Amino acid sequence: MAGASPPLCLVVLVVCLLGFSGAADMNGELEITWGGDRAKFLDGGNELTLSLDRGSGSGFWSRNQYLFAKIDMQIKLVPGNSAGTVTAYYLRSEESKWDEIDFEFLGNLSGEPYIVHTNIFVQGKGDREQQFYLWFDPTADFHTYSFLWNPKNIILYVDGTPIREFKNMESKGIPFPKNQALRLQSSLWNGDSWATWGGRVKIDWSQAPFTAAYTNFNDDQACIWSSSASSSCAASSKDDSWLSQQLDSAAHQKLEWVHKNYMIYNYCTDFKRFPQGLAPECVTQG
């Protein structure tokens, strides 16, 4: 975006959706955006699948956009030899200098662990990658992957366990995504130029189609962006405690457990990549 613009929250109204949206019929909440019949709603809309073959991948997005949200989705990742595939699950704005909060699940050779690649973009600038191994087989069953994005912090969860925390430190001059509405998106695509061991392992197309499955989408605690809303999240009389939720000491212990045992890359320790100095938030958070 050229020049300064007023914060989105000052020029649009926001409504807080706090009633339970339900797990059934995600067709009303999610929209297939590309890939043709490679993306499908199943079981009356209770499940959605994305597939990748040599011709194309596929994707969907949420019909709603959000200005702060707590969102859950259960995902079963591509099984078997999924090397080179990327299952992306993220929140992203539509502006040219975009904000984005990422989970990207990097496929593997059979028997090797999946890597969860995470990143946070503010005004089009990322370079905040952290990567983790999962402590279970994410292809054997559905597991819950969650975003908590509020004015105080961003927290990424796996089955309720926090794996990443990014605090709002604007008071220290560190940008934080808060002025652009984000839409939940997911896609399954060919990332074999970089995904598995830096692109050294390519997709084995004899294993195609590759399929990931989604269920139990839940945005029942989210501020829905709307140009015609009559109230904001802050004005809601319902429970909006999630808008100020942060990690307590027990949750921080779980976060530290993940970082100690399963973190395999942290931009906050990569002096070789950033010889000019680490990002300023790395001084106070890892």
- DSSP letters spanning 52-114: E-SS--EEEEESS-EEEEEEEEEEEPPPSS-TTEEEEEEEE--SSS--EEEEEEE---TTSPP
What is the pLDDT of the chain when averaged over all its residues? 88
Does residue 281 contact residue 166 with C-beta atoms inside 8 Å?
A: yes
Active site residue 281: no
pLDDT at 4 over 70: no
- What are the C-alpha distances in Å from 24 to residues 21, 99, 156, 183? 9, 30, 24, 20
pLDDT at 21 over 80: no
pLDDT band at residue 193 under the 50/70/90 scheme: confident
Q: What is the reported pLDDT for 1?
A: 41
Q: What is the reported pLDDT for 80?
A: 94
Q: What is the reported pLDDT for 231?
A: 35
pLDDT band at residue 106 under the 50/70/90 scheme: very high
Mean pLDDT of the 104-133 span: 94
pLDDT at 17 over 80: no
Residues in a beta bridge with 122: 125
Q: What's the Rg (C-alpha) of the chain?
A: 19
Q: What is the reported pLDDT for 268?
A: 96
Residues in a beta bridge with 265: 131
Token pair for 87: 């299952």
Token pair for 164: 């990443």
Q: What is the reported pLDDT for 5?
A: 42
Per-residue exposure over 22-58, b if at least 16 CB sit within 10 Å of its own CB, e if not? ebeebeebbebeebeebbbbeeebebbbbbbeeeebb
Q: What is the reported pLDDT for 111?
A: 80
pLDDT at 87 over 90: yes
Mean pLDDT of the 161-190 span: 96
Angle at 104 between CA 99 and CA 106, to 5 degrees: 155
Mean pLDDT of the 17-26 span: 53
Active site residue 100: yes
Pick 220 or 5 by higher pLDDT: 220
pLDDT at 40 over 80: yes
Q: What is the reported pLDDT for 15?
A: 41
Q: Is 220 helix (H, G, I), strand (E, B) or coil?
A: strand
pLDDT band at residue 24 under the 50/70/90 scheme: low
Determine which one of 31, 94, 95, 104 is catalytic: 104
Q: State the DSSP H helix or E strand holding residue 117, giving kind and residue range, or none if neither.
A: strand 115-121
Determine which one of 100, 112, 170, 281 is catalytic: 100
